[in-house]
């Protein structure tokens, strides 16, 4: 069955993992930390992600602090220590993580037809540097720093509708994370596209409007030349 995108005027995007190579960027940042040389990096990143979710479920904490604290705690689970300087360098590296190669050209094409906005859990200054790497095709961005709330809470989505002055039926959410993005979007009744770059199985209970492997495929799905 062909997905229905009638009436869509704007696309909202998650950034890290969808447009910016989160996995590649964070792995490179961890490998650069001397104190973690003897750690199992795959396990460390898995543990750090779980700690990240725990920390962002509490009261608002700057995402830089979330990155530093989750890294330190994950390292401690392997009896490793991270210096304060190493933790700061790790969090600061996020703004340099590279876009997926398909993202900048596809965003430029999409911006010719749709209004584009980013919904992200990071600090505004970090996201602005990432947007510059992506080509700056966005008319607005909603960050956790601005609203003191983290996805999968609904505040990012509600703020996006206010910023765009559009009803939810006119916005299509595009994201890679079932937990942070697809679940809340579908709870709110938004149409959504899952960017499944790793061909992972879908979480039970979710039913995205469409699934694509990358943004080039998204352009084809939406009929954007």
Active-site residue numbers?
14
Per-residue buried b or exposed e for 148-159, using 16+ beta carbons within 10 Å of the residue's own CB? ebbbbbebbbeb
Within 10 A of 85 (CB to CB), how many other CB atoms are there?
8
Residues paired with 195 in a beta bridge = 212
Residues paired with 172 in a beta bridge = 11, 191
Tokens of 12: 């909202």
Question: 49: buried, middle or exposed (CB in 10 Å: 19+, 13-18, 0-12)?
Answer: middle
Q: By C-alpha distance, which of 163, 138, 33 is closest to 91? A: 33
- Positive or negative: CA dihedral 210, 218, 177, 141: negative
Tokens of 46: 């898995």
């Amino acid at each position: 069955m062909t997905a229905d995108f009638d009436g869509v005027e704007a696309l909202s995007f998650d950034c890290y993992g969808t447009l910016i190579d989160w996995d590649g960027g964070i792995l490179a940042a961890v490998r650069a930390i001397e104190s973690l040389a003897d750690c199992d990096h795959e396990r460390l990143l898995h543990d750090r992600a779980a700690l990240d979710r725990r920390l962002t479920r509490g009261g608002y904490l700057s995402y830089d602090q979330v990155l530093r604290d989750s890294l330190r705690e994950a390292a401690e689970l392997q009896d490793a220590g991270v210096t304060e300087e190493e933790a700061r360098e790790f969090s600061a590296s996020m703004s340099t993580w590279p876009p997926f190669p398909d993202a900048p050209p596809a965003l430029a094409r999409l911006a010719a037809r749709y209004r584009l906005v980013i919904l992200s859990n990071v600090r505004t200054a970090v996201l602005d540097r990432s947007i510059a790497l992506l080509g700056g095709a966005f008319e607005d961005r909603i960050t956790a720093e601005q609203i003191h709330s983290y996805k999968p809470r609904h505040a990012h989505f509600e703020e996006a509708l206010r910023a765009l002055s559009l009803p939810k039926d006119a916005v299509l959410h595009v994201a890679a994370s079932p937990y942070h993005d697809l679940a809340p979007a579908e709870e709110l009744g938004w149409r959504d596209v899952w960017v499944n770059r790793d061909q992972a199985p879908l979480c039970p209970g979710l039913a995205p409007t469409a699934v694509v492997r990358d943004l080039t495929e998204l352009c084809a799905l939406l009929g954007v030349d």
